[in-house]
Amino acid sequence: MHTLTIGDRRYLQFDGLRAAPGLIHAYSTRGLDVSLRTDEHADRRAANRAAMARDFALDPAALCYCEQVHETRIARVTATGPRGRLEDCDAVLTDVPGVPLMSFSADCPLIVLYDPRRRVLGLVHASWRCTVARLTERAVRALAAEFGARPGDLRVGIGPRAGPCCYEVQQDVYDAARDLPERDAAFQRRDGRLYFDLGRANLAQLAAAGVPPEQVEFAGLCTLCRNDLLYSFRREKAGCGHFGLMAALRPDGPATPIEPSTG
């Protein structure tokens, strides 16, 4: 992934999506905790989210962010709808330019779905519960049904996550994944332990929905292995920070992305 530094803030971007006309996207990294936790540091985290929006020339007041509950509700952001917290949803879709969308993680892959033809955008929080419920596939089908997006046109990025090298699960997760396409390929058994490859499981869902695999980018970063760069609940336990994925449809303007100011 491409690393972009703005001030003292470091972001990650997919190389291909970074060059995609009409899209703004970035993952925050360690040191910029953007979680929705409500405690004595909540105002600082809100300021971090606002700073991230401004870094990409987006309006913090227009930010729409998922209050994630590990279920399958998909929010739709419209031109006239409210901004701010999107309650009880783990995915969000929009066709409104200039409205930043945001989701959060401390191990789960955050997925960006972008159709440059129809100019529509989706974000998915692909926790293991969302993954076995096939939320990514549902989001692709919702983009098609509601906005006329064609799965074959989608450009997708599957973000940093607890990788199959480290993401150990129990038998109940394997059992819950019974309806996943290519389920057995997404699980590995090593030394009597079971590991779940969330990236591969979501790639299979995308393929099942009609997204060509060559149009999917992977972040080759495990949050547990790279805890120096990203937050990890598995590594740090309760109270750890969260990194975030922010994305928006670029407002009317040049056909190619403009590098944000690094001042």
DSSP symbols for 158-197: E--B--TTT-EE-HHHHHHTTTSTTGGGGEEEETTEEEE-
- Give the model's pLDDT for residue 263: 32
Q: Kindly list the structural domains of the chain, giving each domain's residue range(s) and its CATH number in brackets, ordered by start.
A: 2-249 (3.60.140.10)
Q: Is 221 exposed, middle or buried (CB count within 10 Å of its CB: 0-12, 13-18, 19+)?
A: middle
Taking only the tens place, the pLDDT of each residue in 213-246 is: 999 999 999 999 999 999 999 999 988 999 999 9
pTM for the predicted model, two decimal places: 0.93
Taking only the tens place, the pLDDT of each residue in 125-166 is: 999 999 999 999 999 999 999 999 999 999 999 999 999 999
Segment 36-41 long-range contacts (CB within 8 Å, at least 24 positions apart): 36/65, 36/67, 36/85, 36/104, 36/242, 37/242
Rounded to whole angstroms, how far apart are CA atoms 208 and 145? 16
Q: How many CB atoms lie within 10 A of CB 7?
A: 10
